[in-house]
Amino acid sequence: MKLAALYDIHGNLPALEAVLEEVRGAEVDRILVGGDVVPGPMPREALERMLSLEVPVQFIRGNGELAVLAQMAAPEAGAAEYWGTVSGKPLPEPLQLGMRWSAEQLGPSYQPLLASWPRTQRIEIPGLGAVLFCHATPRSETEVFTRATSDELLRPLFDGLGASVVVVGHTHMQFFRTVGSVQLINAGSVGMPIGASGAFWALLGPGEIQLHRTTYDVAATAERVRATAYPQAEDFAGDLLHPPDDEKMIALYQSFELNAGSDSAMDQAPHGGR
């Protein structure tokens, strides 16, 4: 069996379409969507595209879906009980507008679907064994760690899961590392990468793991994003054209590794609330 892991699409339909073209060429048997299909500039279109595929697709939830669900349940803007932030505090007001807008684009008809997505999925892949998929960590959709996080911090979290491979996303930076006996993969972000332009994803099985970067017309996509009514369209387009520096982001993330801190500055990181 071959499986494609697509994480952090964030409503970037052109990036998603480019990845799906390569996924089709890889002749995968299944796609695992690792959360944060939304929010973003084309949230409904991206979700509907995934739902239209003939290949089986499984979803897990990200902090983005949970935050959008909270917006759907909130009686008015700013009244949501969950924001998808590390600190648990509300997003800055400009980012609140983008979250609310994404919820409105989907509408209540998508609420049952998003609410049905589990936190994790466990799939047996020949040659790899039990593979666990989660958005950030197995216990949280918001916890942060990077390729630079120490084994000492990570081992208690990933040992004892009964999985030989764990695939995550959330921080939008692709990497591969080994923690104890576990192969730990960050699939990267399809729609909103950090460190380099392109659309990042992972291919698993049989017996191997490949990290992929798909190129597409980022400049045309930035213009398409700017043409939407998404409140953060200009910032989103700018980050596509000039992705945030990964070393600077790692330095920021290190202050909040595995919820060691809760300063609201983390909530304004490039992936926060978009």
**Are the C-beta atoms of 167 and 200 separated by less than 8 Å?**
no
| pLDDT at 70 > cutoff 90 | yes
**Rounded-to-10 torsion of CA 29, 35, 41, 47:** 40
- Nearest CA to 223 out of 236, 210, 213 is that of 236
| pLDDT at 269 > cutoff 80 | no
pLDDT at 260: 55
Query: What span, in angstroms and rounded, lies between the C-alpha atoms of 168 and 202?
Result: 10
pLDDT at 7: 98
| pLDDT at 265 > cutoff 50 | no
Q: Express each pLDDT in 117-170 by its tens digit.
A: 999 999 999 999 999 999 999 999 999 999 999 999 999 999 989 999 999 999
pLDDT at 263: 45
| pLDDT at 270 > cutoff 70 | no
Provide the residue type at 123 as one letter: I
| pLDDT at 28 > cutoff 70 | yes
Mean pLDDT of 186-202: 98
Is the pLDDT higher at 184 or at 94? 184
Cα-to-chain-centroid distance, residue 199: 12
Query: What span, in angstroms and rounded, lies between the C-alpha atoms of 252 and 249?
Result: 5
| pLDDT at 21 > cutoff 70 | yes
Query: What span, in angstroms and rounded, lies between the C-alpha atoms of 112 and 273?
Result: 21
pLDDT band at 81 (very low <50, low <70, confident <90, very high): confident
Mean pLDDT of 195-223: 97
**Are the C-beta atoms of 10 and 192 separated by less than 8 Å?**
yes
| pLDDT at 261 > cutoff 70 | no
pLDDT at 88: 86
| pLDDT at 272 > cutoff 90 | no
CATH number, span 3-268: 3.60.21.10
pLDDT at 258: 82
* Out of 167-176, 206-215, 255-264, least confident range: 255-264
Let me know how many helices (H) and strands (E) the chain has, helices first: 9, 10
pLDDT band at 197 (very low <50, low <70, confident <90, very high): very high
Q: Percent of the chain having pLDDT more than 70? A: 94
**H or E element that contains 150:** none
Mean pLDDT of 165-185: 97
And the tokens for 237?
A: 């387009």
